[in-house]
Chains A and B, each alone.
Chain A
Amino acid sequence: MNSAEPSSKSNEPTLRGHVYDGIQEYDQKLPNWWLFTWYITMVWFVIGWLAYYQLGYGRTDHELIGEQMAKIEAVRAKELEAIDDKKLWEMSRTPEVVEAGKATFMATCVACHAADLSAHLAGVKLPGLPLNDTEWKHGGNPTQLMTIVRKGAPDITKGMASWEALGIKKITEVVAFVMSHHKEGEPVTLAADSPLKQGTAPVAAPVAPKS
């Protein structure tokens, strides 16, 4: 290149002499705001890396999620302490709770258990079990039902998924809604294929309050 031959008047930026197929180039200084934007991002890299790797500032993702999950587990345990069959039966007779549970049920459970809890839609059997009769596979106590909602069926490949993600509050409401279709003390039969009956599978026992 016939290197930069300034053709500038004092108030004009330098125009480089070389012409490429009719195109010319000014040789202006880099805008300061642009340069400083760039410098800041570089400094940010140095500060960020130093802080995390050399000064040990902040937690790793794994530490953070571990703490958060432990906290959640503690809150859950505490919430569960207060819950027993009696409490759930009580809730099943409280209209506001049942209404709230119904809303969750209609959004989450209805696909397998049907809106009327029969697990049948227009005569077709849905994947879930009926919840409106007195025959139960995993036990008919409200706490047993709650365990299934939380943890899913003992053998997940043959039954319901875990719905722990709903949170204890919503789970208790849903259980209350289901139990509102039943009466405390009604006779309960175990289904023919119930793991409880055979006594082989882990019993979906009422959740023992943890301390």
Chain B
Amino acid sequence: MSTNNAAKAIIEFDDQSVRRFMWASIIWGIVGMLVGLLIASQLNFHQLNFNTSFLTFGRLRPLHTNAVIFAFVGNMMFAGVYYSTQRLCKARMASDLLSKIHFWGWQMIIVSAAVTLPLGLSRGQEYAELIWPINIAVTLIWVVFAVNFFWTLHKRNEPSLYVALWFYIATIITIAMLYIVNHLSIPTSWTHSYTVFSGVQNALVQWWYGHNAVAFFLTTPILGIMYYFLPKAVERPVYSYRLSIVHFWSLVFIYIWAGPHHLLNTALPMWLQYLGMFFSLMLWAPSWGGMLNGLLTLRGAWDKLRTDPVVKFFIAAVTFYGMSTFEGPLLSIRAVNALSHYSDWTIGHVHSGAMGWNGFMAAGLFYWLAPRLYGTKLYSTAWANFHFWIGTMGILIYVGAMWVSGIMQGLMLNATNPEGTSLMYPAFLDTLTAIRPLMAARIVGGLLYFCGMVLMLVNLVLTARRGKAVNESREVALLNRGDKDTMPLKDTFINDPIAYMFGGLLLIMGWVFLPPGADIASLVCAGIFAVIAIRKFQQGAQKWSNWYDRLLLNYMPFTVLTFVAVLLGGLIQIIPTVVVNRAQNIEDRIQKVYTPLELAGRDLYVNEGCYNCHSQMIRTMLPDVLRYGDYSRLGESIYDHPFQWGSKRTGPDLARVGSRYAEDWHYKHMLDPRSTSPGSNMPPYAHLYERKFDQKSLPAKIAAMTQLGVPYPAMSGDEIKQKAIEQGIEVVGRLKEKGIAASPDTEIVALIAYLMKLGQYDTPEVEERLTDGTQGLPFPLKPGDPDKFRTSVKPPSLPLPAGQ
């Protein structure tokens, strides 16, 4: 094929896959938003839980989030990637078979998620709820997508990689990394597994994943789509190539570090909290780089904003992107987070991103694509405009309501009397009652947005029926082998830009991790090094620029460098937390190991999705301590696979609920929450009272726990089951004292046993004896702990009073 005179060939693009992904995205989007509407309504009208097991808020909320992220935005991303990659590579997707497997495999994953989540099968980590067999399917399908994509790059007839492709590359490799690490589990049955990480490690890995699912699933691919489709729609050059370079690399590098901002003011070690906060702030400008490149591309074509619905959607989406990426760093400031965390403000934040940025980008994309994919004109521009306006209204109502709700509830929950000695609103329910009107407003906003989506579906179906499916064909010049992908590894890594970046990072990390004295020295060196680097850059800017232009001709080196950029943040934050010796990870307390019955109850807690509304993390803040008791220590969740620190408090924190109520309270509460807590919006859990808890799987579960290092005493399978029932009989006995008859093998008894256990702990000496020094990794490496080096670190000058 490679001759010196460019050979030409006619290429037919695979637009069939694009059409498939487009329809899938719209349909799943509507389904996901419908579920969202239902669960938003459930928050106001508990009757909408229908007193069944599979329609409760706790089970449906994961369905809503997974559907919107992976089904709606996922399929939209694939549609955009398949369409633009083929054109930017001047090549058909490498394999039609892989494209088909990718499409149908992904839809089957979605269907299996839609079945398993309402059945209460869950891993109990947000956006990572799907059970392990589905995890494997997701990984495989993602690999299929990756192979198909990189193979297409390999076969490309356009030597240079356009910025959209950079973002796609970053998406594919980063999501693979995040997904695999966060889903490492030990199966105990076909439908259940325990994550290999526990407590703080699990928290850190989960939010490294969770935050970067937002970054690399909801942001980078959509930015790539923006870089292709926005200039196409407005027919203007992209505002700045230089800005593309700077914001791409800074975005993918910095984003990874920001995960800990989901865990501010918790028991998470301070150095991680500070890294999370500061990197989130440093992320603001790189994010806005993307917004600027989007908005300013429109310069000279602002009139299109009046006439073209596609441009309207794109520009509004980019504006919402700018708004949420300003809000994100703001919420990452510890003082702001003390108010906003666990509240509706966070919910508003993600919805301005998901509905504003993702949803409107999707709408713009589909209104642009559909006429081209069906060789016709859009059925109704007026309808598309109407969609735009009700969508915008919907988002503004929704997000506005959530802002007010979050700030109001946050202020109420944190309000103390002027002396700071007691809470102004000690009853949690008072704060819930206060935000009810706002939770009603969110339904209205969501409904408007949903109607817009349905209108789009109708409009596009009529567009498709007006035309017929067409696959674009083009004559392209075939590329010579030697015109691309020739960069040796040496040139990839050994050059000034890379050397200075790594050197600088190394010195900065020295500053963070080295002991006193060396840290300052490292910082000073970093400063000097930065000056030298800037000098060098000013002298050799053209050389650096030429190197980068060359890099763009080489997809593999580009991919490797991207991978290194996204790998570093996670490594530096997670490795120290995983290998750090146990004593540093437990502080002064160690959780009591769950008995078999309590473990069964905990699995029910996880499966029912209680974490969607209840946290188990009393933050190191006065209002939290006054309301829920002594602040949580790391050791108190050290055996929790998965951790259940939670991210939203629609109900109160449960970290110490065990010492708060008696068994009969829980029994009545779960059967009819309003009997004990008037005004509560919690669903009733009648099904727990009939079903028997799963005794059969307990030995396998405890075996898995033991394998993961939880110090269970040796017990045979029969002993385990017997212990569970014995404890069940104890619980039932105490219920009987209060005149309640229950059976010791029911799920509710197991759940009550778990809830009564919450907040119990031993002192570390007990742990030493139990573990007999066999714990810990055989690692000679002891990473520095910045918190231990803090200059004025001394034991708290005033010990906590007992009883608090």
Residues of A at the B interface (CB closer than 8 Å) are 1, 3-4, 13, 15-16, 18, 20-31, 34-35, 37-38, 41-42, 44-46, 48-50, 52-56, 60-73, 75-76, 107-108, 110-112, 125, 127, 151-152, 156-159, 161-163, 165-170
Contact = CB atoms under 8 A, between A and B. Distances in A.
B421 A28 contact: no
B482 interface: no
Given A30-B240, A165-B626, A170-B422, A21 B87 contact: yes
B281 A41 contact: yes
B423 A165 contact: yes
B660 A65 contact: no
B792 A65 contact: no
B804 interface: yes
Interface residues of B, number: 95
A26 B546 contact: no
Contacts of A162: 660
A71 B420 contact: yes
Contacts of A56: 790-793
A20 B417 contact: no
Given A1-B549, A45-B282, A127-B668, A72 B421 contact: yes
A30 B242 contact: yes
A156 B804 contact: no
Contacts of A34: 285, 288-289, 292
Contacts of A163: 426
Interface string B118-154: 0000000000000000000000000000000000000
Contact of A69 (B232, B278, B790, B804): B804
Given A53-B789, A61-B270, A66-B798, A29 B242 contact: yes
A137 B614 CA distance: 33
B413 to A, nearest CB: 12
B47 interface: no
A165 B549 CA distance: 64
6 contacts: A23-B162, A27-B242, A34-B285, A49-B278, A68-B622, A72-B420
Contacts of A3: 545-546, 549
A138 B242 CA distance: 75
A114 to B, nearest CB: 12
Interface stretch (B191-199, B443-451, B516-524, B558-566): B516-524
Given A18-B160, A54-B519, A165 B240 contact: no
A180 B728 CA distance: 42
A28 B278 contact: no
B791 A66 contact: no
A162 B656 CA distance: 12
Given A41-B284, A53-B791, A75-B419, A48 B228 contact: no
Nearest to A39: B285
Interface in B228-279: 228, 231-232, 237-244, 246, 250, 265, 270-271, 274, 278-279
Given A37-B288, A41-B282, A42-B282, A24 B545 contact: no
A31 to B, nearest CB: 7
Contacts of A72: 420-421, 626
B580 interface: no
Contacts of B246: 30
Nearest to A76: B421
A28 B660 CA distance: 62
Interface in B612-655: 620-622, 625-627, 631
A2 B426 CA distance: 68
A39 to B, nearest CB: 8
Contact of B661 (A44, A50, A161, A170): A161
A15 B626 contact: no
Interface of B: 84, 87-88, 90, 158-160, 162-163, 228, 231-232, 237-244, 246, 250, 265, 270-271, 274, 278-279, 281-282, 284-286, 288-289, 292, 329, 417, 419-423, 426-427, 430, 511-512, 516, 519-520, 523, 545-546, 549, 552-553, 620-622, 625-627, 631, 659-665, 668, 676-678, 734, 737-739, 756, 786, 789-794, 796-801, 803-804
A30 B243 CA distance: 6
Given A27-B240, A34-B288, A67-B798, A107 B422 contact: no
Given A127-B665, A157-B663, A28 B242 contact: yes
B160 A53 contact: no
Contacts of B292: 31, 34
Contacts of B659: 152, 156-157, 161
Given A50-B523, A60-B790, 16 more contacts: A1-B549, A3-B549, A4-B545, A13-B240, A21-B84, A26-B237, A38-B285, A48-B278, A53-B791, A54-B520, A66-B797, A76-B421, A157-B663, A161-B661, A166-B426, A169-B417
Nearest to A45: B278
Contacts of A31: 292
A55 B756 CA distance: 44
B705 to A, nearest CB: 25
Contacts of A29: 240, 242
Contacts of B800: 65-66, 69-70
The interface centre, meaning the residue of A25, A28, A38 with most chain B CB atoms within 10 A of its CB, is A25
A73 B626 CA distance: 12
Contacts of A151: 803
Given A46-B523, A107-B430, A21 B88 contact: yes
Given A28-B242, A38-B285, A167-B421, A53 B237 contact: no
Contacts of A67: 796-798
B796 A66 contact: yes
B495 to A, nearest CB: 16
A26 B241 CA distance: 6
